[in-house]
């Protein structure tokens, strides 16, 4: 009798414990969230600092702007479905400026893996600082462009600072060629500066001096300076392709806009750089002089004259026929307060002329940012971050007719009272991990960072995604 009661009791106990674990007490079933980090800071990601991530041998390496605007790196193992990091890869001067009252947001990390497997992070620049001396290729603003290299190949846990690029750099874009050469493209200063590249033939251990390819120049007809925003990626063979828009950088007393200096940008351009011959050309093989001036650009590299419409530069990619496609974000005025839609547009070169100019997405307000991939000339797939009322949305938009029309095929992420900052496509991306996005929520200064692919966001246990935040005094909820 006693034994029977005992047996019944142990069965009951095991049932109770079993019930308990189903209710959520089981350590093998941690609470999961769909972001991998919650310590993004300010505007933590963008399309221009690129690539922000790379897929390599089963692992997606990602970067974003974390506390004090430092670069943070994490890694996702697709087979093990496990995360490592984030780890801090360097120390940003932008996040430690004396008297800082707001985020600078220009020194977001750019990530590249060299042929030996070392991971490079470029970050922290917004034109350099006065104490760096004279910038012979432009003007000076804040921060210092910096470079960190992982201490061991494919290991994100420890980093080494190397002093081998110009401190004046802004908007780093890092590209590796088939022979292992690395090209680092950036604007050599603040708005009124040339765009340049530096080349490394020793896996990023040393870089050659900067070479200007887009010229900043004072205008004589209006009180303004010619300025540019560029986006660079691999073309065919040893070529690089560049899309860029023009910034009319007004003096504050130019008298053209009552707001003084505004982000007035126009038009979209395209050109090609042959890294083997060091020659630059147009899409239809006319030679170009570098650094390219506005006058020559207007004659030779124009993809679309956007008239009164303002632009925010997008990206460019080749289709499988070797012809370029470009995207450009465009609206009546870039200032959010001015209202009106700012959509993403697509154009493509068919071998003879630029076609398209249709909007990819449709919305009533807010801004639109993203990147795309193209296979055959007709099949173009965008991932775009925009708004649906007060919701932030990241969605896939697909064209099967060469960009004449796009349909929203898949929503990857949606959050209330938010917008999303997004990166360009991750290099060599796994289908499950194509872009990194940061949620800019209106009710918190904490920025959740997501890794998104065709199945939506990759999950992580809540306890691992919960990280120490920026403690800057001006950061408020």
Instruction: Please state the φ and ψ torsions of residue 148, each to the nearest 5 degrees.
Output: -120, 145
CA distances from 90 to 61, 123, 372, 439 (A): 16, 8, 30, 23
| Helices assigned H by DSSP within 51-193 | none
Beta carbon nearer to Zn ion, 251 or 391:
251
User: Is residue 224 a contact point for Zn ion (CB under 5 A)?
Assistant: no
Options 35, 72, 76, 171, the catalytic residue: 171
Min separation Cβ 138 and Zn ion, Å: 11
Residues near 12 by beta carbon (within 8 Å), at least 6 away in sequence: none
Beta carbon nearer to Zn ion, 265 or 348:
265
Beta carbon nearer to Zn ion, 111 or 249:
249
CA distances from 136 to 170, 193, 211, 214, 269 (A): 15, 9, 12, 14, 26
Min separation Cβ 364 and Zn ion, Å: 28
Chain-centroid distance of CA 357 in Å reads 23
Options 106, 141, 142, 317, the catalytic residue: 106
The residue range among 151-159, 243-251, 377-385, 436-444 that interacts with Zn ion, by the rule CB under 5 A, is 243-251
Min separation Cβ 222 and Zn ion, Å: 13
The residue range among 152-160, 174-182, 242-250, 330-338 that interacts with Zn ion, by the rule CB under 5 A, is 242-250
E-assigned strand segments in 201-237: 211-214, 217-218, 224-234
Beta carbon nearer to Zn ion, 189 or 341:
189
Instruction: Please give the residue whose beta carbon sits closest to Zn ion in the complex.
Output: 249
Min separation Cβ 263 and Zn ion, Å: 7
35 labelled catalytic: no
Q: Contact at 8 Å (CB) between 399 and 378?
A: yes
The residue range among 43-51, 244-252, 312-320, 422-430 that interacts with Zn ion, by the rule CB under 5 A, is 244-252
120 labelled catalytic: no
Residues near 282 by beta carbon (within 8 Å), at least 6 away in sequence: 270, 271, 272, 288, 300, 301
Cα separation, 203 vs 111, whole angstroms: 13
Cα separation, 477 vs 462, whole angstroms: 21
Binding to Zn ion (CB under 5 A): which residues in 179-218? Answer: 191
User: Is residue 264 a contact point for Zn ion (CB under 5 A)?
Assistant: no
The binding track of 334-373 with respect to Zn ion, each residue x by CB under 5 A or -, is ----------------------------------------
Beta carbon nearer to Zn ion, 306 or 419:
306
User: Is residue 317 a contact point for Zn ion (CB under 5 A)?
Assistant: no
The residue range among 167-175, 247-255, 328-336, 359-367 that interacts with Zn ion, by the rule CB under 5 A, is 247-255
Min separation Cβ 189 and Zn ion, Å: 11
CA distances from 248 to 62, 69, 191, 464 (A): 34, 28, 10, 45
Min separation Cβ 236 and Zn ion, Å: 34
The residue range among 3-11, 249-257, 405-413, 458-466 that interacts with Zn ion, by the rule CB under 5 A, is 249-257
Count, residues near Zn ion per rule CB under 5 A:
2
Cα separation, 256 vs 467, whole angstroms: 46
Question: C-alpha angle 219/220/225, rounded to 5°?
Answer: 20
Can you give the three-state secondary structure of 255-301, one letter per residue? CCCCCCCCCCEEEEEEEEEECCCCEEECCCCCEECCCECHHHHHHHC
User: Is residue 126 a contact point for Zn ion (CB under 5 A)?
Assistant: no
User: Is residue 249 a contact point for Zn ion (CB under 5 A)?
Assistant: yes
Catalytic residue numbers read 106, 171
Contact positions vs Zn ion (CB under 5 A): 191, 249
């Amino acid at each position: 009798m006693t034994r029977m009661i005992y047996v019944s009791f142990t069965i009951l106990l095991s049932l109770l414990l079993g019930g308990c674990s189903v209710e959520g007490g089981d350590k093998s079933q941690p609470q999961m969230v769909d972001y991998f980090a919650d310590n993004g800071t300010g505007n933590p990601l963008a399309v221009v600092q690129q690539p922000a991530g790379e897929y390599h041998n089963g692992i997606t390496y990602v970067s974003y702007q974390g506390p004090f605007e430092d670069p943070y790196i994490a890694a996702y193992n697709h087979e093990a479905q496990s995360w490592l990091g984030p780890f801090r890869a360097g120390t940003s001067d932008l996040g430690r400026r004396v008297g800082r009252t707001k985020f600078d947001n220009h020194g977001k990390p750019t990530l590249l893996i060299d042929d030996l497997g070392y991971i490079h992070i470029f970050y922290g620049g917004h034109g350099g600082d006065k104490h760096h001396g004279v910038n012979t290729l432009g003007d000076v603003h804040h921060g210092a462009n910096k470079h960190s290299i992982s201490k061991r190949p494919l290991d994100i846990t420890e980093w080494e600072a190397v002093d081998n690029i110009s401190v004046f750099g802004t908007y780093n874009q890092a590209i590796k060629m088939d022979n292992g050469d690395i090209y680092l493209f950036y604007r050599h200063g603040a708005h009124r500066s040339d765009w340049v590249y530096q080349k490394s033939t020793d896996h990023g251990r040393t870089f050659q001096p900067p070479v200007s390819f887009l010229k900043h120049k004072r205008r004589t007809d209006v009180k303004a300076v010619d300025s540019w925003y560029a986006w660079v990626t691999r073309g065919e063979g040893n070529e690089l392709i560049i899309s860029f828009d023009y910034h009319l950088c007004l003096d504050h007393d130019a008298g053209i806009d009552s707001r003084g200096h505004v982000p007035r940008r126009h038009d979209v351009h395209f050109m090609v750089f042959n890294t083997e011959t060091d020659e630059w050309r147009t899409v239809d093989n006319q030679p170009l002089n570098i650094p390219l001036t506005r006058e020559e650009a207007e004659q030779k590299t124009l993809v679309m004259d956007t008239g009164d419409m303002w632009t925010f530069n997008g990206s460019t990619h080749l289709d499988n026929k070797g012809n370029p496609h470009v995207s450009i974000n465009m609206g009546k005025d870039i200032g959010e307060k001015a209202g009106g839609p700012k959509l993403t547009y697509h154009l493509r070169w068919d071998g003879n002329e630029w076609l398209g100019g249709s909007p990819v997405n449709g919305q009533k307000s807010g801004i639109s940012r993203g990147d795309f991939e193209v296979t055959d000339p007709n099949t173009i797939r965008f991932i775009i971050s925009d708004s649906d009322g007060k919701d932030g949305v990241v969605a896939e938009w697909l064209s099967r007719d060469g960009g004449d029309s796009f349909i929203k095929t898949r929503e990857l992420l949606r959050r209330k009272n938010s917008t999303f900052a997004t990166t360009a496509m991750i290099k060599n991306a796994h289908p499950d991990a194509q872009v990194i996005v940061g949620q800019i929520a209106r009710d918190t200064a904490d920025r959740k960072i997501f890794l998104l692919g065709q199945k939506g966001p990759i999950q992580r246990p809540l306890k691992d995604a919960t990280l120490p935040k920026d403690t800057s005094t001006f950061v408020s909820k």
